[in-house]
Amino acid sequence: MTDFLVLAFVFLAAGVVAVPIASRLGLGSVLGYLIAGVAISPILSALNVDVVAIQHFAEFGVVMMLFLVGLELEPKMLWHMRHRLLGLGGLQVGATTVLVTGVAMVFGLTWSVALACGLVLALSSTAIVLQTLNEKGLMKSDGGQASFSVLLFQDIAVIPMLALIPLLALPELADVASHAVGHGTEAVAEAATHDDAHHDDGHGMNINLVEGLPAWQAALATIAAIAGVIVGGAYLTTPAFRFVAMANLRELFVATALLFVIGIALLMTLVGLSPALGTFFAGVVLANSEYRHELESDIDPFRGLLLGLFFMTVGAAVNFGVLFSSFGLFIGLTLGLMTLKAAVLFGLAWIFKLRGGDKYLFGLGLAQAGEFGFVLLSFTVANNVIPKDIADQLLLVVALSMMLTPLLFILYEKVILPRLVEDSDRDADEIDETGQIIIAGHGRFGGVINRMMRAAGYSTTVLDYSSSQLDRLRRFGVKVFFGDATRADLLHAAGIHEARLLVVAIDQREAATELVRHVRHEHPKLGIVARAVDRHHVYELYAAGATHIVRDTFDSAVRAGRSAYEELGMHAFDAEMLARAFVDDDKASLVALASVYDPSIAAHENEEYLAKVKELVSQRDDILSGNGKAFLVRTDRGWTPPSREDLDAEQEAEKT
Amino acid sequence: MAKVIHYYAHPGHRFSHANKAMWQAAQAVDGVTRVDLYGEYPRHDVKIDKEQQRLLDHDVIVFQFPVFWYSAPSLLKEWIDLTLEHGFAYGKDGDKLRDKWMMLAVTAAGPEAAYSEGGYQHFPLRTFLTPFEQTARLSKMRFAAPYVLHDALKSDPSAHAAGFVELLEGLRDDRIDLEKAEAVECLYRDSIASVLHRSEGSLAQ
């Protein structure tokens, strides 16, 4: 227990200290975690901690991240990406493998070892690249999408690689090894018991249900598992969440979301597929679900913590003794590898017509080797494909290339991008802004706003916390997401950071004010249209920073008042003018009072506020006592003819 | 430096070619007050006091609009009806606008030839603008020749817009000789040079 607490404390403290500093310095969280890892590596070795084992555990963060990426990606979009996925991804893996193999053979390695090195180093780091792209908001850019295509292909490519690598086994290594090895995942299971440095590959666990079955049965089981994920995701999520909603406990949603991801990952490993890939597809299936944002915000903290832990273990696993023993060699190898990978990527960027900043994002962002490299390296050693000393050197190269990646992103952001922006034409006039309108609360008020936005062709994201409301809306084909809009993480999952407008239409007065205050604090420039229940709520929302404040019953009451004027025999146009004058007058007093309102003092105890009210009332009384017509004073300004006396005076003046 | 206010009235701004180009080009002119009337009063509830104050604060009032049915878009008419009150712009004590200048910048879909006795519009364009001219006169303002674009749906809006910018800057910097501008029938993009002050004109040559 104490061991666990010490370990947790060391990791958490390192992350909490290093990441804010790194972010403040503009280095990004990934580099912060990596540096934290390097910093705590002496402590970890003093405590005799098996860093690699922790790393394999933390790799589950990658699985969660791919689930979240899947949630962002509708099936339609995935289909749309297929050419890039196969073309870009296939060519990247193929060309890089061939080139690395060639170079390795020049260095004097036998072809089979060289090919294994090529396969291992062709892969990039999904964890670092996706984390950084998300953090910098580059995921939706062309370069971000291309990078994602390649990463996804690599993820798929790992499966055939795991099958291929054992075929490259060196007989002399097998002789040296104390144990005979089979092939496929069986080897991993066996290796886990013998090789204490690398327990398992983290992506294929030690139980495999389809192992030993005839090929057709195994294939059938695999297909059944995938079908199960798709059908279950599509049809069981909603009933499951509705069942959980009955308990009305926040943590149960989190538990359910975790259960989903872990269950799918387990199912995939049982049939020998990559859990990252399986959860990715489950995410895609759920991308259209109304529980999408709920799932996102529930899983996201776990993903963040696990990935952070993963990055720290990468930093901590760097063996500085070995590194400094031949510093020049390792730096040379790492830079050589990254240059070669970047060259392939720039070539692909040219073929696939990526332009400007996207080209550099793609070319520099994917130039590292990745966490799958760690996995495959331990796998190759276990299968006697690569000698252990070479594998250890490669391990260092992979880690170093990962540590250099955040620096390349900084280079992209600070040096390359500003130049490109300067060069490109500035014609910002008629850019069609993208971005969502987020509507919090979809009752009678928010519903009308949603319909108006959609009628004008804007896309909206609607958040509501009532299951019955959701059911009703779904029947009308409205896209609504389940969740409490006042929760910051849910708003973030709904895309508040890139939204162009927030509409606060929830019923709860205090919650609405709190929501406005929070969002205004986080996003000073975002437009906020807020619903107020009464005048005092208007002042509160004004103080909280809402851009537009609309009292929910005021306009309809004014219309009713206007109808009353008409019913009393007033001409319709006079009634309209009078109603407008009333609104203007009311607004003027509202603005005057909002400036003296203090949310921390009750209105009836706020001296300044009371004084202002008295002043406004007496002004109105003056008007009343003057002619008895209150607002009419304002409306008889327009279209009135000159008085008889004026006309007479003018005619007199004309004569003289 | 003259204080210039530029009023723009176009309910179909989205679909406009010439007026949109003029309005957008005018954004770059510093030191001129700009009012998008349809943007400020989408519900036609013109604020009388505010508009009168604006007129008092400026020397040259430019109205930019497309000619609709031989007149201005309806909001500008409403603006005139409300703002130019008795006792302010005309009538007893109605001398608040004395010696200010009014200038129109209008676009017309018909070609220049149509605005003549033999053309399909039958009258010269200035005849249709006489209500504005007389409005200026009754308000004791002076009326400079309108800046005109004929054939507005077909001709090049950017050249006309550039000329409009030149005009606004010329008004602002007192380079335009308004007396000269009062004497001509209409101003066009290529005739702005002819209404510059003499010294400016010789400089330009």
Q: Is A174 exposed, middle or buried (0-12, 13-18, 19+ CB in 10 A)?
A: middle
Q: Which residues of A touch B87 (CB under 8 A)?
A: 642, 646
Closest CA to B126 of B138, B108, B153: B108
CA separation for the pair A505, A512 (Å, rounded): 8
Distance from CA of B203 to the nearest CA of A (A): 34
CA separation for the pair A66, A161 (Å, rounded): 20
**Which tens digit of pLDDT belongs to each residue from A334-381?**
999 999 999 999 999 888 888 777 888 888 889 998 877 877 887 788
Least confident range of A231-240, A439-448, A598-607: A598-607
Q: Which residues of A touch B91 (CB under 8 A)?
A: 642, 646, 650
pLDDT value of residue B201: 47
Q: Which residues of B touch A649 (CB under 8 A)?
A: 92
Fold of A437-552: Rossmann fold (3.40.50)
Q: Which residues of B touch A639 (CB under 8 A)?
A: 81-82
Q: Which residues of B touch A427 (CB under 8 A)?
A: none
Tokens of A243: 């069942």
Architecture of domain A50-422: Up-down Bundle (1.20)
pLDDT value of residue A194: 39
Domain A50-422 matches domain A437-552 at the CATH topology level: no
- Name which of A431, A582, A639 to mutate to probe chain B: the one with the most chain B Cβ atoms within 10 A of its Cβ: A639
Q: Which residues of B touch A636 (CB under 8 A)?
A: none
Judge whether B44 is closer than 8 Å to chain A, CB to CB: no
**Which tens digit of pLDDT belongs to each residue from A499-518?**
889 999 988 888 899 899 98
Query: pTM for this one?
Result: 0.57
Judge whether B122 is closer than 8 Å to chain A, CB to CB: no
pLDDT over threshold 80, residue A653: no
pLDDT over threshold 80, residue A480: no
Q: Which of B24, B45, B91 is the closest to A580 by Cβ?
A: B45
- Summarize the confidence of residues A95-104 as an average pLDDT: 92
Closest CA to B133 of B72, B191, B177, B193: B72
Angular region, A620: left φ>0, alpha ψ -120 to 50, beta rest:
alpha
CA separation for the pair A249, A239 (Å, rounded): 16
DSSP string, A274-313: -HHHHHHHHHHHHTTSTTHHHHHHHHHHHHHHHHHHHHHH
Band of the pLDDT at B151, cuts 50, 70, 90? very high
Give domain limits for chain A. Answer: 1-48, 50-422, 437-552
Cβ density class A12-40: b for 16+ within 10 Å, e for less: eebbeebbeebeeeebbbbbbbbbbbbeb
pLDDT value of residue A176: 54
Distance from CA of B44 to the nearest CA of A (A): 11
pLDDT value of residue A165: 82
Band of the pLDDT at A63, cuts 50, 70, 90? confident
pLDDT averaged over chain A?
A: 80
CB contact under 8 A, B91 and A646: yes
Band of the pLDDT at A247, cuts 50, 70, 90? confident
Band of the pLDDT at A469, cuts 50, 70, 90? low
pLDDT over threshold 80, residue B30: yes
Q: Nearest residue on chain A to B86, judged by CA atoms?
A: A642
Higher-pLDDT residue of A624 and A38 is: A38
Interface of A with B (CB under 8 A): 429, 580, 637-642, 646, 649-650, 653
- Summarize the confidence of residues A523-543 as an average pLDDT: 90
- DSSP β-bridge partners for residue A325: none
The most confident of the ranges A48-57, A277-286, B27-36 is B27-36
- Summarize the confidence of residues A259-269 as an average pLDDT: 87
CB contact under 8 A, B85 and A639: no
CB count in 10 Å sphere of residue B116: 13
CB contact under 8 A, A646 and B85: no
Strands A437-440 and B4-8: unpaired
On whether the B4-204 domain is CATH 3.40.50.360, my answer is: yes
Q: Which of B46, B85, B92 is the closest to A649 by Cβ?
A: B92
pLDDT over threshold 60, residue A190: no
- Summarize the confidence of residues A267-296 as an average pLDDT: 81
Give A495's contacts (C-beta < 8 A, 6+ positions apart). A435, A436, A438, A461
Judge whether B87 is closer than 8 Å to chain A, CB to CB: yes
- Summarize the confidence of residues A627-637 as an average pLDDT: 54
pLDDT value of residue A425: 41
pLDDT value of residue A101: 92
- Name which of B48, B78, B80, B86 to mutate to probe chain A: the one with the most chain A Cβ atoms within 10 A of its Cβ: B86
Q: Nearest residue on chain A to B46, judged by CA atoms?
A: A638
- DSSP β-bridge partners for residue B143: B102
pLDDT > 90 in chain A, percent: 12
Q: Which of A429, A638, A642 is the closest to B48 by Cβ?
A: A638
Instruction: Answer for the pair A27, A410: CB distance below 8 angstroms, yes or no.
Output: yes
pLDDT value of residue A198: 40
CB contact under 8 A, B91 and A642: yes
Distance from CA of A646 to the nearest CA of B (A): 6
CB contact under 8 A, B86 and A637: no
pLDDT over threshold 70, residue A202: no
pLDDT value of residue A635: 58
Q: Which residues of B touch A653 (CB under 8 A)?
A: 92
Q: Nearest residue on chain A to B82, judged by CA atoms?
A: A638
Higher-pLDDT residue of B94 and A210 is: B94
- Summarize the confidence of residues A538-561 as an average pLDDT: 91
Judge whether B91 is closer than 8 Å to chain A, CB to CB: yes
pLDDT value of residue A422: 54
pLDDT value of residue A433: 38
* Inter-axis angle of helices A535-544 and A572-594, nearest 10: 50
Say how many CB pairs under 8 Å bridge A and B.
26
Cα three-residue angle A337-A338-A340, rounded to 5 degrees: 65
CA separation for the pair B140, B97 (Å, rounded): 6
Q: Which residues of B touch A640 (CB under 8 A)?
A: 86
- Summarize the confidence of residues A206-222 as an average pLDDT: 71
CA separation for the pair A581, A616 (Å, rounded): 16
pLDDT value of residue B141: 96
Closest CA to A133 of A412, A496, A473: A412
**Which tens digit of pLDDT belongs to each residue from A435-446?**
588 888 888 898
Least confident range of A324-333, A542-551, A637-646, B99-108: A637-646
Higher-pLDDT residue of B69 and A44 is: B69
Q: Which residues of A touch B45 (CB under 8 A)?
A: 580
pLDDT value of residue A233: 80
Q: Which residues of B touch A646 (CB under 8 A)?
A: 86-87, 91-92
